[in-house]
Structure formats: C-alpha cells, structure tokens
Amino acid sequence: MARGEAEPLLSELLFTADGEKLVPSYTNKQGKRYCYYTPVLHRRMGAWASKHGSLPADPIEVPVIEQIVVR
C-alpha cells in the first residue's frame, strides 16, 4: 500500500470456507486500479498453491458500505 492510501475496508476480516486468509491486492490496467482479495497462499507461493481464486473487492465492499451508510 502506498503512502497516503486508505487501508482496504475488509483487510484482516475475510477468510475462505476452509480458513485461508484473504489479503488485499490490486492491479493497474490502462490507468485504472482494480482491487481484489486474494488467498494468502496464492500471493506467497503462486496461483497453484491455493485452490481458491481472487475475489473482486467491489462486490464485497459495496454492500458493506451501503449497510453502514443506511443505518
């Protein structure tokens, strides 16, 4: 995470069904940042190391934000 950027909303809170921690990650394509939650084994050892794939952050974070704002 670069200086001045906000911590990802659900950092340290998401896990797969079998307990593998999901960590924030991102990629930049054509000037746009795409954020994901990626299994920790995938990040440390490569895609082959985890049977779980990355999850886009927006479909997870937007409903959480909406619940906070509405209440």
- Summarised one tens digit per residue, pLDDT across range 13-64 is 999 999 999 999 999 999 998 999 999 988 778 777 778 888 999 999 999 9
User: Alpha carbon of 49 to those of 19, 31, 52, 53, 68: distances in Å?
Assistant: 15, 30, 9, 10, 35
pLDDT at 50: 78
pLDDT at 52: 84
pTM value surpassing 0.85: no
pLDDT at 30: 95
Q: Give me the DSSP letters along 26-66.
A: EEEETTEEEEEEEEHHHHHH-GGG-SS--EESHHHHHHHHH
pLDDT at 58: 92
